Amino acid sequence: MSERKELTCIECPRGCRLTVEVDGARAMVSGNACPKGAVWGAQEAVSPMRVLTTTVAVDGSARKRLPVRSDGVLPLGRLLDAMTAIDPIVVRPPIRRGDVVVRDLLGLGVDLVATDDLLGDGR
């Protein structure tokens, strides 16, 4: 039995309204103005993925938190597991933007990277 989902493509500012017919692991996408929307719509309907953006605790700096993000997408259903794994992490300066804070987060093949410098004097 198939299921119909209505989605808004977020791959570009045009925001096409997509209709996705899902039948098991198969998805038929319509309403997309380009092939990127078909790929995104099928993925989103069957197995949605997200970039994780959060912060980690800092020790040894006037700053209390360092912003981080995953360098790729994770399954939406694993974001809470990822946050639980990240919660106890404490970093110390110096850290440069782009440095890996956690390698291979949850074994999902994505790294957690710093999105700002942490230089140790509150900057």
Interface contacts to ligand SF4, rule CB under 6 A: 9, 11-12, 14-16, 32-34, 36-37
Taking the CA atoms of residue 105, residue 111, residue 114 and residue 118 in that order, the dihedral angle to the nearest 10 degrees is 70
Q: How far apart are CA 31 and CA 40, in angstroms?
A: 12
Complex with ligand SF4: residue 4 or 14, whichever CB lies closer: 14
Complex with ligand SF4: residue 36 or 96, whichever CB lies closer: 36
Among 48, 43, 116, 121, CA closest to 78 = 48
Complex with ligand SF4: residue 32 or 61, whichever CB lies closer: 32
For ligand SF4, which residue has the nearest CB? 37
Instruction: Report CA Rg, the chain.
Output: 18
Give min distance, CB of 32 to ligand SF4, in A.
Answer: 4
